[in-house]
Amino acid sequence: MDPRRWQALSRRLSEALHLRREPVAIAFSQRRPDGLPAFSAFGRAGDDGAGHEAAVASCVFWVQGEGRAFATVPDDHGCSIGRVTHGLAGPEEAAGADDVAALERAGWLDPCAVSSLPAVSVRPGAITYGPLGNLPEGVEPDVVLLRVNARQLMVLSDALPELSVEGKPQCHIVALAKERATPAASVGCALSRVRTGMAPEEMTCALPAAGLEDAVGRIATAAETATAVARYAAEDGRRRA
């Protein structure tokens, strides 16, 4: 698709939902797109304060992708759970990882849960992140990631009856959108909220890029309807007062 079409869809999404954050495009490919900066060009994660390099998780790339487009390779992804959901590692590889063991000890993760997580089916050689409204030529997103509040999620639910609302881990909604073409929202997870700095009221929603034009039209209509009903409720409240 012409990048201008993605730009127009990004603008319509942002206007309909009154988004505070730029929609982020996520594209899976076998190699890094030509001319696109590698994540490594921007440096690694900083120290976490305990003498360790902070994990660079897939969800962290969502935040960084709001401002610029870049491509990651499998070794850039430091979170074992995100590596599984994004098709970069199998459950058996994650099972022995230190971060997975820590989550299991905390009681946050069931030892059997990793093997049942939705996951990207074909191992990518690169994953590109960037603003949907400012994508380089040749980058075709698979998933569009939104950061939303409760009202925005209400509109999305009205517009997309097929929307699935999920729990932890937050990153598996990307796999649902890509592999099953299912719009999926997440209430978030404690792990990702800390890593991304998400506000308490924020949630995420992953939309399949295929069919996005139709989805945006439905979202815009639902948003107009919600606004009309809100006006009626306000006027009705004043009459009754």
Helix (H/G/I), strand (E/B), else coil: 174: helix
Specify the DSSP element, H or E, that contains 216: helix 212-240
List the Cα angle 27/13/225 in 5-degree steps: 140
Cα distances (Å, whole numbers) of residue 88 to 29, 78, 144, 151: 12, 11, 19, 34
Query: Residue 112: phi, psi to the nearest 5?
Result: -90, -10
Reported as type and span, the H/E element at residue 178 is: helix 172-179
pLDDT number for residue 52: 33
Q: What pLDDT is attached to residue 43?
A: 53
Residues spanned by the domain of 194:
3-240
d(CA 97, CA 57): 14
Q: Which two tokens stand for residue 190?
A: 């404690």
Omega cis (within 30) before 33: no
Domain count, the chain: 1
Under-50 pLDDT residues of the chain: 45-54
pLDDT of residue 51: 35
Which pLDDT belongs to residue 45?
46
